[in-house]
Structure formats: structure tokens, C-alpha cells
């Protein structure tokens, strides 16, 4: 299991060497990645982008950072006479991580005390909100308490920050690694923003990396770049000394700077008063946690906890839809001192009255405003609950949560109960298209439910599928044509080659013959196959078959409108 988790961690892409212009980062996130950010998330993401932009500029200034100690301009003589970094006071025995001071560490100390001082001030103030919890989790795991400075460098203790590469939370997890370490990241919940859950996952990941590398500096570099890249650098240069590797350009500049940044943060963060920081600490994050089974909307939870829905949302940033997920049990955080009263109140509420939303599947021709009018709510209500970045980007088959708070009781009574959720474990050779076919959903839905930014999936990966069990299947006959290969037939029908072989008792994938009739299986709906002719377009084919272009694209996993003669398209029969 250990090796498989580390293999999954290789899916984390390194951040680009040149960051995006900070003025546009959250706009680009919303447009390019379809991520809807609240005003608070926009501000946090913008801050993180600005910080990274400043650091990127500073990182290219050479070994000593390219700028003198800022106090030099005020008191040049005094600054030259006294060590401005107080290196004589740095005692490795004060730390439970290995601490060394060298020109690379000094460079980043100069940055945090100079150009980056405004950012480090924020780090120190935010740290107080999370430090007791992080230290408690590290201590419980028998890990060094000073690993807290990894989180400082990752996010600046900004829990709602989202990087342009879609890393999220205190520990800036990418979705695949988060899932590999037990965090839920799907349509309903993103536990990367749960400080406690993400801290436990990060501790386990760091522990695995340390077991793999046997060295904290290499473990931190692996956390940043992935163990595969670090192992490649170790092999190439024939050394496990991070400082020797960092003198080369095998690793990205960001990774070469990562370890000295952690050390600089630890040295200053341990004794902020020594470096002139006056900290106004944020209040410690304190709460009680209760288990809630099934779907319950946050307004109901807030009422029973005798607090506001806004406060429950603040304490539970991982809950994305204004409700707990319909499957399983969710640990919900409540204001301190409210758990006992909550339990009494909640037990008295019948399960049928614990939700105040409905589920709506978008049909052909529907618009968000029309759906909102049907349910007696506003488009903005639906946009906010579903975190829609663009109201015009709803699509046929998309499922929306419709908030019904304040709606007439007869409408609430008719609300559709949340459907069950299936977790599908990807097998070797499976594609998103094959899985979507099996469960009667679209590829876009699969990607949305599982926060996937590409069509790449790995054997062993777990995918959440809203709607429950696989569809019952009916066979479809396909006659092999000249030029066909089993792999291309499987791809055209959105299944795997292995599945076609299994359905037809074929042991050798290369042995299919022209004229051979194959059995193919899809959802319980009937499908027909259309072979594209010269001069065809998606619009013409859609019109002739009574469907929309978007449906054609969804059925055939097309990202664009380009088709070519001889291409086979799946079309759902009426």
C-alpha cells in the first residue's frame, strides 16, 4: 500500500516555473478550470498568488538574494557592525528538525525580513489559529513539531487558498494525492480545506516520504516536487545530499528553494520577537465535532447548534453544497459548547425533515433562470449552492442542488431524496468513457464529481459516482469493418479493450476478422452507431438524429467539433 500511495503522489504536477500574473489568478481559475470561488476564497487565492509572484522574482536574484538587509538604509554603520540575521543565536538544539545555516538559508531569511516581511507577518498571525491543533496531531503521530513550518511555506496558513495548479488548503494538496491519503474530494466535499483532516493526511504523507528518503530535506523536496523527480535527481547526481543536488538544475528552481525556505521560516518563526515582529495573533480555531449520518442541510444543523448557518459554513469549509453528503457519516464541526444541545435537538427531528433541498437533472433546452423559476428560487441561489463559475455552462445531464429553504411546505415535501452514491475502483485499462457508459452518466459528470482536470485515471483510483448502481445492460451488435482494431472499436464505444475481449471470449486482441460480429454492452438505453460521411458536421448529425451537439459530444467524449469521414459516433436511440 505504501508504494501505491507514493506512486499516486507522482500525479501531482510541479507548479510552473513562472507564475501567472497575480492580478488575474482567480479570474483564470474560474474561467479555465470552472472553479467558483467565494469572495473570501478569491482574496486568499489572490494573496497566495501575490506571495508566490514576489518569491519567484526574489528567487532569481542569486545566492544572496540580491538585496541588502533593509535596515542598512536606515542605519548602515550599525547594521554592518551587528549580524542582522542573529546567526550567532541560532541553536540547532532549539529545533526537532535538522537546522543548518548556509547562504541559501540566509538568502530566504533576508527575503522574509525584507521584501517578504509583510507576508511573513501574516503567516505569524494566522499561525496562532492552527498551531495548537497541528502540534497536537504531530505529537500524536510521534513526528517533529517543527514540521508546522512546511505548512507555513505551503500556504502561509491560509486554509482557503487555492493555487493556480489547483492545490488547496493548509497543506496545498493536489486532489489525487489527497484522495490517496484518505481525504474526500468530490461533488459534495473537499476535505483538503478541513484543517484537522488535511493535517492528518499531510503528516502521513510526510511520514511516508521520510521513510522513503531517510532524510528530512529530501522528504520536503519530495513533498514539493513528488518523490519520482527527487529520486531521479538523486540517481543522476549520485548523492543523497540535498545541498549538492540543489546546486544543479535537475530539480525546478522552486524545489531547490523549498528546503531553505522551510529552514528560514523555522529560524525566524521560532523567535519572531528577535527579528522585530510584533504579532497580533488570530484566535485559535476551536470547535466540537459530532457525527451526522446522511444528507442534512447546514441550516438544520445551525438551528440545532443555536448558531448561524454562516458560522457552521465557516467551521466546515469542506462541505461544498450547503449540506452533508448523502452517503455515509460526516464529522461536522460545531461551535464549542454546543454539541450536547445539538444532539438533543437533532434526535427530535425526523430524518425526512433534515433536508431542505432538491436534486434537479438538467434536461435539453433548460436554462438556469428557467430552472430557478420552476422551483421559486433565484438563479443566484442555485449558482451559490452549486459553486457555478458561469451560469451559462450548465449542460444536459448535469445535476444541480436546488435550495428549498423558505419554499412552500408542499414543494419541500415533494423534494427528491438524495440518490445513493457508488464508489468505483478503476481497473487496469478502464477509461472515463467506459466507466460513464457502465453507469449511464456523462464523462463531464464523472470529472465534476471527482474534481478531475483531465481524462487521465489510474488503476486502483477510487471514483465517486452519484446515482448508485451500474445500469442494467443490453447487448449491441457491431460488425468489424476493414481497418478496425479491437482497441479502436473499444474506444469508439467508450469501453476498454479488455471488456470487449471478455464479452466476446477473445484471448488475442489482434485476432479479430473483418465481418466478425461483436457483442458490446452499454447502459439499458439502446444505442445506434453513425458512421461519419464526407461533408458531415456535428450540427447536421445532431439535427438528423433529434439530439443536441452537446449530447453528441458527451456520448462520444469529444472535446471539440472536429470529426472525419469514417469516424463512428454513438447516438442514444429515442
Domain identity same for 403 and 428 = no
Domain identity same for 313 and 394 = no
Asked whether residue 524 is domain-assigned, the answer is no
* CATH code, domain carrying 148: 1.10.530.10
Cβ-count burial of 128 within 10 angstroms (0-12 exposed, 13-18 middle, 19+ buried)? middle
User: What tens-digit pLDDT sequence spans the chain (574 residues)?
Assistant: 333 344 433 333 333 333 333 344 444 444 334 455 666 677 777 777 777 667 766 654 444 444 555 555 556 555 555 577 899 999 999 999 999 999 999 999 999 999 999 999 999 999 999 999 999 999 999 999 999 999 999 999 999 888 877 899 999 999 999 999 999 998 889 999 999 999 999 999 999 999 999 999 999 999 999 999 999 999 999 999 999 999 999 999 999 999 999 999 999 999 999 999 999 999 999 999 999 998 898 999 999 999 999 999 999 999 998 889 888 899 999 999 999 999 999 999 988 788 777 778 888 788 888 888 888 888 888 887 787 767 677 887 788 888 875 443 333 333 344 444 577 778 776 777 667 766 767 777 788 778 888 888 888 788 878 754 555 444 566 778 887 888 877 766 666 677 777 667 788 888 888 888 887 765 434 567 788 888 888 888 888 887 777 677 766 667 677 888 878 787 766 5
Burial 458-481 (b: 16+ CB within 10 A, else e): eeebebbbbbeebbeeeebebebe
pTM given for the model: 0.63
Question: Helix, strand, or coil here: 172?
Answer: coil
Asked whether residue 404 is domain-assigned, the answer is yes
Per the structure, the complete domain to which residue 308 belongs is given by 288-353
Domain identity same for 142 and 12 = yes
Domain identity same for 295 and 388 = no
Asked whether residue 299 is domain-assigned, the answer is yes
Domain boundary among 440, 455, 470: 470
Domain identity same for 139 and 43 = yes
Asked whether residue 551 is domain-assigned, the answer is no
Which residue in this structure is represented by grid cell 528518503?
213
Cβ-count burial of 524 within 10 angstroms (0-12 exposed, 13-18 middle, 19+ buried)? exposed
What whole-number distance in Å separates Cα of residue 485 and Cα of residue 495? 14
Domain identity same for 25 and 164 = yes
Asked whether residue 102 is domain-assigned, the answer is yes
Domain identity same for 242 and 330 = no
Domain count for the chain, please give it.
4
**What is the grid cell recorded at 254?**
522552486
Domain identity same for 88 and 200 = yes
Domain boundary among 242, 275, 308: 275
Asked whether residue 112 is domain-assigned, the answer is yes
Domain identity same for 315 and 364 = no
Asked whether residue 124 is domain-assigned, the answer is yes
Domain identity same for 199 and 237 = yes
DSSP H/E element including 299: helix 298-304
What whole-number distance in Å separates Cα of residue 368 and Cα of residue 378? 9
Domain identity same for 185 and 68 = yes
Which residue in this structure is represented by grid cell 507577518?
121
Domain identity same for 299 and 244 = no
Strands 517-522 and 474-479: antiparallel
Domain boundary among 224, 251, 275: 275
What whole-number distance in Å separates Cα of residue 365 and Cα of residue 371? 11
Amino acid at each position: 500500500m505504501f508504494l501505491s500511495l507514493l506512486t499516486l503522489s507522482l500525479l501531482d504536477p510541479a507548479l510552473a516555473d513562472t507564475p501567472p500574473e497575480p492580478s488575474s489568478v482567480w479570474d483564470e481559475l474560474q474561467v479555465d478550470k470552472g472553479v467558483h470561488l467565494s469572495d473570501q476564497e478569491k482574496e486568499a487565492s489572490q494573496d497566495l498568488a501575490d506571495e508566490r509572484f514576489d518569491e519567484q522574482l526574489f528567487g532569481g536574484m542569486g545566492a544572496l538574494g540580491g538585496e541588502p538587509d533593509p535596515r542598512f538604509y536606515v542605519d548602515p554603520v550599525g547594521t554592518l557592525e551587528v549580524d542582522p540575521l542573529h546567526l550567532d543565536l541560532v541553536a540547532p538544539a532549539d529545533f526537532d528538525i535538522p537546522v543548518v545555516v548556509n547562504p541559501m538559508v540566509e538568502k530566504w531569511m533576508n527575503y522574509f525580513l525584507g521584501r517578504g516581511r509583510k507576508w511573513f507577518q501574516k503567516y505569524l498571525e494566522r499561525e496562532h489559529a492552527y498551531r495548537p491543533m497541528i502540534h497536537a496531531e504531530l505529537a500524536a503521530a510521534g513526528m517533529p513539531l517543527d514540521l508546522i513550518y512546511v505548512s507555513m511555506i505551503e500556504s502561509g496558513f491560509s486554509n482557503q487558498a487555492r493555487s493556480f495548479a489547483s492545490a488547496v488548503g493548509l497543506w496545498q494538496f493536489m486532489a489525487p494525492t489527497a484522495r490517496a491519503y484518505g481525504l474526500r474530494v468530490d461533488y459534495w466535499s473537499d476535505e483538503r480545506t478541513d484543517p484537522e483532516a488535511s493535517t492528518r493526511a499531510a503528516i502521513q504523507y510526510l511520514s511516508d516520504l521520510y521513510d522513503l528518503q531517510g532524510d528530512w530535506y529530501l522528504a520536503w523536496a519530495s513533498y514539493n516536487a513528488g518523490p519520482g523527480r527527487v529520486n531521479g535527481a538523486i540517481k543522476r547526481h549520485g548523492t543523497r545530499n540535498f545541498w549538492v543536488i540543489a546546486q544543479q538544475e535537475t530539480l525546478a528552481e522552486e524545489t531547490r528553494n523549498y528546503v531553505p525556505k522551510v529552514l528560514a521560516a523555522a529560524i525566524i518563526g521560532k523567535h519572531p520577537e528577535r527579528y522585530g515582529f510584533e504579532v497580533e495573533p488570530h484566535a485559535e480555531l476551536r470547535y466540537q465535532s459530532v457525527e451526522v449520518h446522511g444528507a442534512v442541510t447546514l441550516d438544520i444543523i445551525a438551528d440545532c447548534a443555536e448558531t448561524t448557518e454562516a458560522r457552521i459554513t465557516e467551521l466546515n469549509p469542506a462541505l461544498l453544497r450547503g449540506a452533508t453528503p448523502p452517503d455515509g457519516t460526516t464529522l461536522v464541526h460545531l461551535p464549542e459548547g454546543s454539541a450536547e444541545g445539538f444532539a438533543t435537538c437533532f434526535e427530535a427531528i425526523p430524518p425526512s425533515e433534515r433536508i431542505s433541498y432538491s436534486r434537479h437533472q438538467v434536461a435539453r433546452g433548460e436554462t438556469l433562470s428557467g430552472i430557478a423559476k420552476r422551483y421559486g428560487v433565484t438563479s443566484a441561489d442555485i449558482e451559490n449552492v452549486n459553486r457555478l463559475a458561469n451560469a451559462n455552462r450548465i449542460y444536459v445531464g448535469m445535476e444541480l442542488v436546488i435550495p428549498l429553504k423558505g419554499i412552500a411546505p408542499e414543494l419541500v415535501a415533494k423534494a427528491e431524496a438524495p440518490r445513493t452514491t457508488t464508489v468505483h475502483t478503476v481497473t487496469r485499462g478502464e477509461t472515463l468513457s467506459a466507466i460513464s457508459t457502465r453507469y449511464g452518466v456523462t464523462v463531464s459528470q464523472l470529472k465534476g464529481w471527482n474534481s478531475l482536470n483531465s481524462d487521465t485515471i489510474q488503476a486502483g483510483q477510487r471514483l465517486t459516482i452519484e446515482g448508485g448502481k451500474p445500469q442494467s445492460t443490453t447487448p449491441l451488435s457491431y460488425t468489424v469493418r476493414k481497418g478496425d482494431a479491437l482497441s479502436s472499436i473499444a474506444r469508439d464505444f467508450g469501453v476498454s479493450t479488455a471488456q470487449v475481449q471478455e464479452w466476446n471470449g477473445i484471448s488475442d486482441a489482434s485476432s479479430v476478422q473483418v465481418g466478425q460480429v461483436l457483442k458490446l454492452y452499454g447502459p439499458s438505453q439502446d444505442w445506434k452507431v453513425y458512421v461519419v460521411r464526407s461533408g458531415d458536421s456535428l450540427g447536421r448529425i445532431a439535427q438528423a438524429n433529434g439530439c443536441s451537439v452537446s449530447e453528441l459530444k458527451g456520448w462520444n467524449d469529444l472535446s471539440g467539433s472536429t470529426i472525419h469521414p469514417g469516424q463512428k459516433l454513438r447516438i442514444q436511440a429515442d
